[in-house]
């Protein structure tokens, strides 16, 4: 139900839990234990956080329980009989009202924040008013605008109170502007430990959130790519981070070649790949700590050539190789190393049978993303024909700024290659 929020808490910068206490008059009925059907009555029950709507009588009874109903739905006996005719007899016998005390514990996170934050911040859609946060292991991660910063500590305390598994609350201070893709953060409240464990795609990841890039909002995209893979496929990840693509790919049975320029990502990616290996049949994987272009030139291209030359169509006809480039601010520029390589030994490459699919992530603004991306790709990788390119929406990261995935297909054209639809949304 919607609790009537206290009106004198607006602008509170220090959490005073006692000021959330109030009383409420609610309807009740005493029902025999064997006739309780709480799951069927749910829409009419008094539902509050950390609150039992079926409780002992006073004094306690071995045969009956007191059931509390939502006063917004039930005001009279007739309301209850009309909606729950199966308990009519008990309504006639015991229907009444009782006074309960609501405390801070009975409010949701959103209700507390709504009670505390000034009204203009609650209604301004441009402002993260505290209701939007990410959970990464034991860390709750905020990205608060300046207008909300005076309330950051009270918001952090609410999160610690309401989410027992959260031990640390942090706020992002700046946009990602370092070559290592990590951002500066402030620990607002709780334990200063930023080494976390979290699960995604059936894998267990461990990393230092303060030193690497991890975005739980990309879990759907990670799974989308993993769903395209089959055992024995080959995966090259140019900007692999701590392994959200390559760890589940390796678990699936793909051959993994992963890279990240950030030494911390390299460290944790190795740990995550090793920890998630099947005990009976460990997978083949290799990890590097190189610049993206260097990884493409010195590792990816030679390995593709090796796999193509050693390919046996009879025993491995469905194999494919994918190249992942998830660095949206820069990845599209890394494609400039492909033209020279593609123009070398073209007669040999024309015979290659294993499809190579590039998944390059980037940002796009404006209404026609497909047109924008193709116009940017044309001078960077002119070798790619229009029919080899498709573009897909991934997620909105800001007003008029979307994250996109560009798929480019090379080689093995006689093999069926699954392509994205042009600019389709999730």
* Domains of the chain, earliest start first: 22-102 (3.30.70), 109-193 (3.30.300.110), 215-410 (3.40.50.150)
Residue 173 is predicted with a pLDDT of 82
Residue 423 is predicted with a pLDDT of 42
Q: Which stretch of DSSP H or E encloses residue 371? A: helix 369-380
Residue 147 is predicted with a pLDDT of 86
The pTM assigned to this predicted structure is 0.85
CB 337 within 8 A of CB 303: no
Residue 7 is predicted with a pLDDT of 84
Residue 100 is predicted with a pLDDT of 96
Residue 343 is predicted with a pLDDT of 94
Residue 83 is predicted with a pLDDT of 95
Main-chain dihedrals φ then ψ at residue 129, nearest 5 degrees? -85, 15
Residue 179 is predicted with a pLDDT of 64
Residue 124 is predicted with a pLDDT of 56
Residue 172 is predicted with a pLDDT of 87
Residue 420 is predicted with a pLDDT of 42
Instruction: Kindly list the distances between the CA atom of residue 119 and the CA atoms of 33, 125, 127, in Å, as whole numbers in the listed order.
Output: 45, 12, 12
Residue 126 CB contacts under 8 Å (≥ 6 apart), including other chains: 145, 399
The rounded average pLDDT for each run of 10 residues, N- to C-terminus, in the chain (426 residues) is 83 92 95 94 94 94 96 95 95 96 94 88 58 89 88 94 96 69 85 96 95 93 96 96 97 96 96 92 91 97 95 80 95 96 93 96 93 95 93 92 96 53 40
Residue 154 CB contacts under 8 Å (≥ 6 apart), including other chains: 12, 13, 14, 15, 116
Residue 88 is predicted with a pLDDT of 95
Residue 177 is predicted with a pLDDT of 56
Residue 381 is predicted with a pLDDT of 95
CB 265 within 8 A of CB 242: yes
């Amino acid at each position: 139900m919607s609790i009537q929020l206290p009106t004198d808490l607006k602008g509170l910068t220090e959490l005073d839990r006692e000021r959330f206490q109030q009383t409420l008059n609610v309807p009740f009925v005493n029902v025999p234990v064997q006739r309780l059907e709480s799951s069927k009555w749910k829409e009419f029950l008094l539902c509050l956080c950390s609150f039992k709507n079926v409780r002992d009588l006073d004094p306690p009874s071995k045969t009956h329980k007191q059931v509390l109903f939502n006063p917004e739905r039930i005001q009279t006996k007739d309301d209850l009989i009309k909606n729950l005719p199966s308990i009519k007899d008990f309504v006639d016998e015991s229907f009444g009202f009782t006074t309960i005390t609501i405390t801070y514990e009975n409010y949701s996170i959103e209700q507390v924040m709504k009670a505390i934050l000034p009204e203009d911040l609650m209604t301004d859609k441009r402002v993260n008013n505290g209701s939007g946060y990410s959970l990464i292991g034991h860390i709750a991660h905020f990205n608060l605008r300046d207008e909300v910063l005076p309330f950051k500590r009270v918001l952090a305390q609410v999160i610690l109170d309401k989410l027992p598994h959260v031990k640390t609350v942090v706020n992002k201070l700046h946009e990602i502007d370092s070559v290592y893709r990590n951002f500066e953060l402030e620990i607002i409240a709780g334990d200063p430990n930023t080494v976390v464990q979290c699960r995604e795609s059936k894998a267990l990841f461990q990393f230092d959130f303060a030193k690497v890039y991890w975005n739980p909002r990309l879990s759907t995209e990670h799974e989308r790519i993993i769903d395209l893979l089959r055992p024995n496929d080959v995966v090259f990840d140019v900007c692999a981070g701590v392994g959200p693509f390559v760890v589940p790919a390796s678990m699936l049975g793909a051959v993994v070649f992963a890279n990240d320029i950030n030494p911390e990502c390299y460290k944790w990616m190795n740990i995550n790949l090793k920890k998630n290996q099947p005990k009976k049949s460990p997978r083949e994987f290799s990890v590097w700590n190189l610049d993206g272009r260097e990884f493409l030139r010195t590792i990816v291209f030679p390995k593709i050539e090796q796999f193509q030359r050693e390919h046996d169509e009879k025993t491995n006809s469905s194999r494919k190789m994918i190249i992942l480039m998830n660095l949206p601010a820069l990845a599209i520029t890394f494609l400039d190393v492909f033209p020279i390589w593609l123009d070398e030994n073209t007669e040999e490459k024309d015979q290659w049978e294993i499809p190579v699919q590039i998944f390059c992530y980037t940002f796009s603004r404006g209404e026609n993303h497909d047109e924008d991306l193709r116009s940017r790709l044309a001078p960077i990788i002119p070798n790619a024909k229009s029919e080899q390119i498709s573009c897909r929406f991934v997620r909105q990261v800001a007003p008029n700024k979307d994250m996109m995935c560009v798929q480019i297909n090379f080689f093995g054209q006689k093999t069926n290659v699954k392509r994205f639809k042009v600019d389709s949304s999730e």
